Structure 1
Amino acid sequence: MLKKLKETKVAFEDRLVRIALLGASLPTALSIVFIVSAELSVYLKILLIFLLLVVVSYAAFAIWQQVIFQLRTSTNLVEAMTSGDYGLRANNKGVDGALSDFNQLLNKLAQRLAEQSLITREKQILLTKITDQIDVAVVAVDQESNLTLMNPAAERLFKKRFDELEGWPIKNLGLQNVMTEALNKVTEFEINKDKRKVYVRTDTYFELGEKHHIIFITDIQHLLRDEERLAWQRLLRVLSHEINNSLAPIASISETLTQSFKSEDESQPLSQDSRENLFEGLSVITERAHSLNHFIQDYQKLTRLPLPNKSEFSLRPFMQSICQLFEKSEFNVPDKDMKVFGDPEQLQQVFVNLFKNAQEANLANNQITSSIKLEWYARSDNVVIEVCDQGTGINNEDNLFVPFYTTKKQGSGIGLTLSRQIALNHGGDLNLMNKVEGPGAQAIFTLPYQRSIVG
């Protein structure tokens, strides 16, 4: 029986009332003893004892009611917050002490949760707008590989609505093989019985402690076709321009020579003027034929560039050996050395071209001595090499890497194009721009930092 009583759970407010009654029991008992021992009538004693018990009972009930009110107020406030309603606040009027501190803490918690909820909703709206507008298909799945998200781009790509597929296995989209490994590459998928080239990237995220997968799919089929079409247009424009520049004078001179010979008397030998005209015409035809042949050879250099034969070498002595080829220029070479990984012959071709351009830019700016500044350093996963001149800068940056485009009288227009192609084949890049401070331009050549060591 005692064990059952011990195991019986008593409400917190009931325990407070019992403690209050226990505290008042001794004074009440003493008061009753005092009343009984007093020289009063029996009826008066009974009345006083009754009033005493009523006062004690009322005090206990008032304590119980006040505790219940405060507990229910706090409970309602917490329950509202758990339901996502952060508008309720605890009334702190006429309350002080520990209870006031507790109510203030609850109100601060409600305010903080309201702010966090607003920020979360705003971010969710922003994220929804972004995923709705981007052209990248986004698909998310849960631990069981069931669909939990598809943005409009994914619906257009797979030609299916998300509300029809929500909760369905991902194999309904033909993406079951994507989940077997982390992808970050261009691959070919069969979508709606149509093979398409896409760029796929997978990642993971957690929701309520459970691991989910998210798949990003970029349809690059139409992008590749557009780039291919633009490349052909640029190539045909360049070829047409160069061939017309050679064929037009050849055709004109040939027609002039033909008309000249028609007017000559066939029975008479050629006059001196006719011989000179013939010689000049044939010289122009020969010159334009050589120019056209040179153009074709330059084009072959771009299309037949071999893959780099990479090896590790020291950058500073490599650069110093190239600087010695340009006697008209003074080079500011860094003292520090670096070990780089690349094809020395191809990279030499790049920097010979960059140094040549820098020297010509300096001399064209009426400088007595050409000054070229070099700088190299490590940045993220790349080795960055800068070549700066003090010329007049770049007038048209848009056509810098257009094949056969040149503003020089003796230029071929393939130097920068070939240099960038070499950089790309090394996994790097080449960019030219005007300097931010001071006159001149700077070329920035980047090379992957693979197996590259700062000396």
Structure 2
Amino acid sequence: MSKPAEHSTSYENKLLRLSLLIGLLPLLLLTVALFYIDISIYFKMLVLSLTTAVVIFGAFEIRRLIVAQLRTATNLMESLTSGDFSLRAKMRGSNSALNEFNQLLNSLADSMAQQNLVNKERQILLHKIISHIDVAIVAVDHHQCISLMNPAAEQLFDVKFSRLDGAPVHMLGLATALPKDYREVVEFEIKQNRKKVYLHSDEYFEQGNKHRLIFITDIQDILRDEERSAWQRLLRVLSHEINNSLAPIASISESLHQASVAGSDVLAPSDFQEGLAVISERSLHLNDFIKRYQQLTKLPEPQKAMISLSQLIATSARLFDNIEVNAIDEHWQCYGDESQLEQVLVNLLKNACEANQSASSSGHIAIGAQLFDNKVQITITDNGNGISNMDNIFVPFYTTKNAGSGIGLVLSRQIIRNHGGELTLVNRDDKQGVIATISLPNC
């Protein structure tokens, strides 16, 4: 759109000229009429002067009203543009078009004032959240320069935002987090200290330019606490198993030693052989325990391929009696290692059968599957006594069975996690029993 010339006539002056032209026609008619009327020349001049004055006054009054209304609307819009929502247009009349226009302007001002108040409240809330949240937040503009750092980010990097405002983001070592949907656990070296953090980046737009938000969660303390807790649980189980084997070995060995020192009459040959048998049995048990521990630490990586879900479930269910297989679409597939997933299903079905037997339940064990949100969900439901101690079900070597090894569920969950899925066990709400759920990606 071209810029108007400076000498062009304004809108209000055009209206003034139009009004004068409209009033000129009756003025000319009046002049002609007065010319043919036989009256005093002074009276004729007086009438023409008054009529001319009225026409000119009316034209300029129209211009004044138009200018006043336009300036009112301009001042109101200018105040709204500058963020001042206190001005309002004066209402004139009750049913006029001008009154409707002013009412519309005032409604717009009220709406913008209300929206501005809401925005300010949200900004205050957002500022408080960003200032007090533990997650470090760094905003990066479209030039990959730092445009915002919250206090958590300043504390994490031990630097004030005022010193890095507008600086390249690579000065913080965050250049790798700029690609879209970046989600990784990385290790940072900050002030000669290495920290593990979780990086997550997302994009937002400002004035049409793409910017990025980088969220940094310091997980060093969380990992340290989890590691300490895992070691404590593992050492507790290891100590229990090792003490169960070493205590009788030490006791029997001491008894045999004292008997050998005292002489052959103190201990019969059968007792001596029985003591050696116990030592041998506990030694074998301890050796078996160590082998099972090695089995946990040497789980092979899954060889993944597309697997028929109905065939996988049917093959596992055939190994047991009283397994009720719900209808499964034969076209459904999951992506994983067939032998490892079959081992998981066999472990879970075996546990379900043993749970039903221990509860003397005659109910069937149901296994089914469903597909949603690009995930396959397999559920196994039993009618046993349920799980009384949920906190320890995935602790290595913890078991409530007399002949249990305590590694079946641990191995099963590790296999599922290696497939990018999750294994959960919960007690049923409708009746006694447990529901085991396997979630797997289907592609």
With the length of structure 2 as denominator, give the TM-score of the two structures.
0.89
Distance 2:95 2:210 in 1: 47
1:379 pairs with one of 369, 372, 390: 372
How far is 1:10 from its partner? 1.6
Q: 2:69 — aligned with what?
A: 70
> Structure 2 residue aligned with 1:296, among 290, 308, 318?
290
Output the CA distance in 2 between the equivalents of 1:218 and 1:224.
12
CA contact (8 A) 2:180 2:203 kept: no
Within the alignment, does 1:342 sit opposite 2:336 as a pair? yes
Structure 1 position 405 matched with structure 2 position 390? no
Query: Aligned residues: percent identity?
Result: 49
Q: Following TM superposition, by how much is the alpha carbon of 1:81 offset from its aligned partner in structure 2, in angstroms?
A: 0.9
Between stretches 70-79 and 90-99, larger displacement belongs to 90-99
CA distance in 1, matches of 2:337, 2:60: 93
| 1:157-196 mapped onto 2 (5 Å cutoff) | 157-176=156-175, 178-179=177-178, 183-196=182-195
* Paired residues for 1:257-406 under 5 Å: 257-258=256-257, 266=263, 269=265, 274-275=268-269, 277-327=271-321, 329-337=322-330, 338-368=332-362, 370-406=363-399
Shift of 1:78: 0.7
- Give the aligned partner of residue 81 of structure 1: 80
For structure 1, the residue ranges without an aligned partner over 5 or more in a row are 1-5, 451-455
Measure, in 2, the Cα distance between the counterparts of 1:275 and 1:87. 108
Give the 5 Å matches for 1:50-199.
Answer: 50-176=49-175, 178-179=177-178, 183-199=182-198
Tell me the CA shift for residue 258 of structure 1.
5.0
Aligned equivalents of 2:95 and 2:72: distance in 1?
Answer: 16
Alignment partner of 1:446 is 2:434: no
1:440 is aligned with what amino acid?
G
Is contact 1:334–1:374 with CA below 8 Å preserved after alignment?
no
Q: CA deviation at 1:389?
A: 1.3
For residues 156 and 343 of structure 1, the distance between their equivalents in structure 2, rounded to whole angstroms, comes to: 45
Instruction: Assess if the C-alpha contact under 8 Å between 2:377 and 2:437 holds in 1.
Output: yes
Cα deviation for residue 404 of structure 1 reads 1.4
- Mapped to 1, the partners of 2:433 and 2:178 lie a distance apart of 52
The 3-state SS of whatever aligns with 1:234 is: helix
Equivalent position SS for 2:391: coil
C-alpha separation between the residues in 1 aligned to 2:189 and 2:28?
Answer: 92
Letter in 1 for 2:85: Y
| Separation in structure 2 between the aligned mates of residue 7 and residue 75 of structure 1, nearest angstrom | 20
C-alpha deviation, 1:98, in angstroms: 2.8
**Count of aligned positions:** 438
Determine if contact 1:174/1:191 at 8 Å carries over to the other structure: no
Runs of 4+ in 1 over 6 A off after TM superposition: none
Compute the RMSD of aligned alpha carbons: 2.6
Q: Please list the CA deviations of residues 217-245 of structure 1 after superposition, one character each: whole Å capped at 9, or x if unmatched.
A: 33334443333333322222221121122
Q: Does the 8 A contact of 2:136 with 2:151 survive in 1?
A: yes
Question: Is the contact between residue 385 and residue 432 of structure 2 (CA under 8 Å) also seen in structure 1?
Answer: yes
Distance in 2, matches of 1:7 and 1:137, equals: 55
1:324-377 Cα offsets, whole Å, 9 max, x none, are: 2223x2323324222322222211221111001111222233223x41111212
Q: TM-score, normalised by structure 1?
A: 0.87
SS in 1 for 2:392: coil
Query: Which of 430, 434, 451 matches 2:423?
Result: 430
Residue 83 of structure 1 deviates from its aligned partner by 0.9
Amino acid aligned to 2:14: R
- The offset of 1:319, in angstroms, is 1.9
Q: How far, CA to CA, are the matches of 1:312 and 1:71 in structure 2?
A: 72
SS of the counterpart of 1:390?
A: coil
